[in-house]
Every structure is written in structure tokens, then in C-alpha cells.
Amino acid sequence: MQQALILKYYPDMDLSWRTLMQHLILFSYVVAFGELAVGVTLVLDIFVGVAPFFGAFMNSNYLFAGIISINPLLLFIELFLILA
């Protein structure tokens, strides 16, 4: 049903985007889990070298998506944590 609606309204959509659109709820949980995992590892002081890298990766994805708030400042802080 959902796939038929996507194909009806977006017939020229790329296959990867169609797949993404069909699994939006799953990807929202994956993003939320990733943000929680990065936050918990930084708070508990474990994987301190790895967590800022993944935080910077998520932050750069937000920047590429066009969401600009305090993300450039947070990216600078994450790079400082990676290099420390």
C-alpha cells in the first residue's frame, strides 16, 4: 500500500530514495539510537576517541541536509575532542 502511494506520487524517484521512504520509521529509530549512543559514551567517558568522530559524522550529515543552527560550532568542538 505504502509503496504504491510512493510510486504514484513520485514515479521518477530513485530506487534508494524509494527504499528510504519506505523505511522512514526504522531510520528515525536508527538516528535516535546513534545520538543516544554517542551521548552516553561521552558522558560515561568510554570510547572518547571514537564517539566524537561519529558525532562529527552525524553533525556533518545535518549540515549537508541544510539544517544550520549551532552545528558549525558543535562540529568545531567535536574536532577538538577528536584531536585531544
Per-residue pLDDT of the chain (84 residues; tens, 9 = 90+): 566 666 666 666 666 676 777 777 888 898 889 889 888 988 888 888 788 888 888 888 777 777 777 777 877 887 787 777
pLDDT of the residue at 33: 92
Is 41 within 8 Å of 47 (Cβ atoms)?
Answer: yes
pLDDT of the residue at 69: 77
Give the N- to C-terminal CA distance of the chain in Å, as an integer.
51
Tell me the CA distances in angstroms from 18 to 9, 25, 82, one per residue in order.
11, 14, 35
Is the pTM for the entire model greater than 0.85?
A: no
